């Protein structure tokens, strides 16, 4: 079972930036598409961004398009989420997740991810 460990969350003012990292254990990281999701209290976990196993395709929620960038470094078993122009509504716990299945297409749906990190808190003050 893969372990995913997020880092990089924190408190930032509106308009600021943060970069989240997610380090994965194991030797097969490059075979899996990865995603970032976020969740606030009382709400369902929502899709933020995803990247294909090769890194060649990326997908974003409309709410973050143009502000967030997902990337990966397969040599370091790490996926990143660069978040710019942060807004108070971006405040949430952010989770990285591994898409189920080797070489599967990226997905917007939480049910299609089989491994999750513990989450990292991002708080954007106004």
How many helices (H) and strands (E) would you count in the chain?
Answer: 0, 11
pLDDT digits (tens, 9 = 90+) for 95-118: 999 999 989 999 999 999 999 999
pLDDT digits (tens, 9 = 90+) for 42-64: 999 999 999 999 999 999 999 99
pLDDT band at 66 (very low <50, low <70, confident <90, very high): very high
Token pair, residue 72, equals 């990966």
pLDDT digits (tens, 9 = 90+) for 68-89: 999 999 999 999 999 999 999 9
């Amino acid at each position: 079972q893969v372990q995913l460990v997020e880092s990089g969350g924190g408190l930032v003012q509106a308009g600021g930036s943060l970069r989240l990292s997610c380090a994965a254990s194991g030797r097969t990281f490059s075979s899996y598409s990865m995603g970032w999701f976020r969740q606030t209290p009382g709400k369902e976990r929502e899709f933020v961004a995803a990247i294909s196993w090769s890194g060649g395709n990326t997908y974003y929620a409309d709410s973050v398009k143009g502000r967030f960038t997902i990337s990966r470094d397969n040599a370091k078993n790490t996926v990143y989420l660069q978040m710019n122009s942060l807004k108070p509504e971006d405040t949430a716990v952010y989770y990285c997740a591994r898409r189920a299945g080797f070489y599967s297409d990226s997905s917007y749906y939480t049910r299609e991810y089989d491994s999750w990190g513990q989450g990292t808190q991002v708080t954007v003050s106004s």
